[in-house]
Amino acid sequence: MSFLRNRYAQAVTVILLLQAIAFYAVASRPEHVPPVPPLGRFPAVIGAWTMTQDIPIEKEVLDLLKADDTLNRVYVDPAKRALVTLYIAYFKTQRYGQSPHSPKNCLPGSGWEPVEVGISSLAVPGWDAPIAINRYVVEHGEEKSVTFYWYQSHKRVIATEYAAKFWAVADSIRYHRSDTALVRVIAPVRNNDIARATATGLDFIQALFPELDARMPL
């Protein structure tokens, strides 16, 4: 019984129950899959930032991700001598087992260990309230970077994996859709200046958001 009083166990139980309810509620109904332009059409210039590299994702990784569309690019701001990597994975549906892989799990698997974990609040153009996104400072040997990520769908930005699962179920029931995107921005840390890397990442996200928001289906 002590297990049932554990908050983590309670959250997992609620999620599993909601997923079961959603499966029986919507499995027999066709899902609405809104049209989305290919991520390959994402602009090469975003504010002061210019794409310098479009990095292909290996087939083995794509097979594991099971995303319907992906983007993996490097953008630079020459004036500020700043660089970021932008990764987006878009899923038309999560009904058949496809879902974003959390960077919280993927980063350690690729050798990057978190040294700081938290949530950043950021005012972005076109939104009345600041958005909340994950902020991780990670290191691999002598290298460090600041990683931001969040889940985004129709006028909703979600930081936590639990909330993302909840809204996927809720939207499946209410709107017969479960499309979502995982967005990740990485800013390398130079000269051990974590504050500057954090500011670089947030600056890029503010420039990125109108373009991203315009491409997410309502």
The predicted pLDDT at position 161 comes to 85
120, β-bridge pairs: 133
Which residues lie below 8 Å from residue 150, measured CB to CB, with a gap of 6+? 131, 132, 133, 134, 157, 158, 159, 182, 183
The predicted pLDDT at position 35 comes to 80
Domain coordinates of the chain in residue numbers?
3-215
Residues counted in the chain = 218
Query: Are 188 and 173 in contact, with CB atoms under 8 Å apart?
Result: no
pLDDT in tens, 39-48: 999 999 999 9
Query: Are 211 and 129 in contact, with CB atoms under 8 Å apart?
Result: no
Nearest Cα residue to 158 out of 146, 171, 145: 171
The predicted pLDDT at position 216 comes to 81
Low-confidence ranges of the chain (pLDDT < 50): 1, 3-4
Query: Is this structure's pTM higher than 0.85?
Result: no
